[in-house]
Amino acid sequence: MKLGYVVGEASPTHVIFISKKPPRLGQYVILEYDGKKVLGIVRRVVMGSVALSEDIHDPTVVERIKDLEGERDYYIKGIIKILGDVKNLEIPRVPPPPATEVREADSSILKDVFSCKEKGVCIGVLASNPEVPVYIDINRMVSRHLAILAITGAGKSNTVAVISDGILGLGGAVLIFDMHSEYVDARFRNGDVNPISPRVNPLHLHLSELLKLLNIDYKAHRQEYYFRKALKKVYNHLKRHPEDTEMFFKLLVKALDDVAEESKSRDAKNVVISVQNKLEAMQDKYGFIIDLQAPSVLNQIKLGYVNVVDLGALDEDASDVIVSHYLRTLLYSRKSYKSTGEGLAFPVFVVLEEAHILAPKGRSTLSKYWISRIAREGRKFGLGLCLVSQRPKALDPDTLSQANNMIVLRLVEPSDQRFVQQASETLSEDLLEQLPSLNIGEAVVLGLMVKIPAIVKINKFEGKLSGGDIDIVSEWKRIREEELELEKAYNDITEEW
């Protein structure tokens, strides 16, 4: 359908047009020039009147002009952003000449642009044209990482679930670090969850990871020194005589005593006592994740599954240690597989919920180091990252800028929006303006995984996820009814007595 004509001065990327009927903002249009069919998007629409200019200050003048000119004395003017030739989405070098016809883009053209012939996953439909499905290229998403950003409750976890289900459909592997136990009981259409209990063999932990669980600060050199010596003794002993986890702690306490005895330093005993206290505290607090028999994470990750590490019961420090340990193991294993054929044989898409806690801006954590290493090197080894966060500006900017793909749902705070724009080359001003007004589940989708940026209504995940909005009023009612029933049963019994 014809919408209008190009007027005034046009550039190869921006075109002014006039129309008879108001087009929708975000509507896709087609212009034919330079022997090409070119796709554009309506970015601004204004309606105005020549006769009824702003300079009129007397309402009776308006009434007189209205009587004279009739109701329809107005024009509609808009700005189109040129997206490119429909064949290859390359922007023509010449601008469209004046009087070029502007037509509504029909769905068949849009379906072609937003499809992905193979290795694609449909994540939703165009917000402006719901009959057009939008596919993302999974190869490009995994190899160039993804960030899913939005205020709380805007639909981040739903998006993760939709993408994960799509990856299952392609027979791939996802690994989710599940900070709030949202995914561990999820049910997917295209496959199953493989729950992974976050247990680690302390002998496989890096010293920095053990020190974090022990709450030994990196500046406490002497505590670290005696602990390291004691650990070495225990390590050598366990190589010869395998023991259970309980014995590991006992052996460490004993080894610390030995180290103090052997030391010439007078206050060694005091330092060792504080380390032994910390060891006891660690066993109380984190005993349930420390296990000498814990299988390696590599043996637990399965191809064709959404592998979920349930971190719901862990505090931030323990989550940091688990994520750091697992990511380090994954990266080294994939590297080794590439060079020697030994190691994890398949690529993995790793999802980090609450990424601003694991890879924060201006503060170091153990996992931040490995997250940034995978962000930089993962592409070569088939390790893709998905950073999920409701506080983008608290995220490490270097890591975020490695995410070449973004799904940005509703984002209200201007400082968050600016921060995201700085990290992304493709988030243009006009898309940025849309972010605060997006509805739940609507997102700006950009990056290499799509041919052109688009506003997409993400599909509602059809499986089951446990982190959605709670019906609070029904919860109150249910609990109250249960209490009343108990009260009644109690009264009935006491009456019988």
Ligand X SMILES: Nc1ncnc2c1ncn2[C@@H]1O[C@H](COP(=O)(O)OP(=O)(O)OP(=O)(O)O)[C@@H](O)[C@H]1O
Interatomic CA distance for residues 191 and 38, integer angstroms:
40
**Residue 474 sits in the site that holds ligand X (CB under 6 A):** no
Residue owning tokens 């209990």: 197
Tell me which of 140, 156, 356, 451 binds ligand X, using CB under 6 A.
Answer: 156
Tell me which of 19, 128, 158, 319 binds ligand X, using CB under 6 A.
Answer: 158
Residue owning tokens 């044989």: 345
Tell me which of 19, 27, 128, 157 binds ligand X, using CB under 6 A.
Answer: 157
**Residue 193 sits in the site that holds ligand X (CB under 6 A):** no
**Residue 469 sits in the site that holds ligand X (CB under 6 A):** yes
Distances (CA, A) of 192 to 160, 174, 175, 295: 15, 11, 12, 21
Beta carbon of residue 190, minimum distance to ligand X (angstroms, whole number): 18
Q: Which of residues 343-402 bind ligand X (CB under 6 A)?
A: 390
> Closer CB to ligand X, residue 150 or residue 282?
150
Considering only CA atoms, give the Rg of the chain.
30
Residue 1 burial by CB count (10 A; 0-12/13-18/19+): exposed, middle or buried? exposed
Tell me which of 121, 323, 423, 458 binds ligand X, using CB under 6 A.
Answer: 458
**Residue 460 sits in the site that holds ligand X (CB under 6 A):** yes
Task: Point out which residues pair with 62 in neighbouring strands.
Answer: none
List the beta strands (DSSP E) in 86-179.
101-104, 120-126, 133-137, 146-149, 174-178
**Residue 153 sits in the site that holds ligand X (CB under 6 A):** yes
> Closer CB to Mg ion, residue 105 or residue 186?
186
Interatomic CA distance for residues 324 and 200, integer angstroms:
11
Question: How many residues are present in the chain?
Answer: 497
Beta carbon of residue 411, minimum distance to ligand X (angstroms, whole number): 11
Window of 1-9, 146-154, 359-367, 488-496 that interacts with ligand X by CB under 6 A: 146-154
Window of 132-140, 156-164, 226-234, 415-423 that interacts with ligand X by CB under 6 A: 156-164
Per rule CB under 6 A, count of chain residues that contact ligand X: 16
> Closer CB to ligand X, residue 3 or residue 151?
151
Tell me 145's DSSP state: -
**Residue 126 sits in the site that holds ligand X (CB under 6 A):** no
**Residue 145 sits in the site that holds ligand X (CB under 6 A):** no
Residue 468 touches which member of ligand X, Mg ion, none, C-beta under 5-8 Å by kind: ligand X
Window of 32-40, 150-158, 259-267, 486-494 that interacts with ligand X by CB under 6 A: 150-158
> Closer CB to ligand X, residue 178 or residue 224?
178
Beta carbon of residue 440, minimum distance to ligand X (angstroms, whole number): 5
Q: DSSP for 289-320, please give it.
A: GB-TTPPPHHHH--TTEEEEEE-TTS-HHHHH
Beta carbon of residue 312, minimum distance to ligand X (angstroms, whole number): 13
**Residue 441 sits in the site that holds ligand X (CB under 6 A):** yes
CA dihedral 353, 358, 362, 365 (to 10 degrees): 180
Interatomic CA distance for residues 466 and 390, integer angstroms:
18
Reduced to 3 states, what is the DSSP secondary structure of residue 446?
Answer: strand
Answer yes or no: are the C-beta atoms of 178 and 465 closer than 8 Å: no
Tell me which amino acid residue 374 is: I
**Residue 155 sits in the site that holds ligand X (CB under 6 A):** yes
Using CB under 6 A as the criterion, which residues of the chain lie in contact with ligand X when the complex forms?
Answer: 150, 152-158, 390, 440-441, 458, 460, 467-469
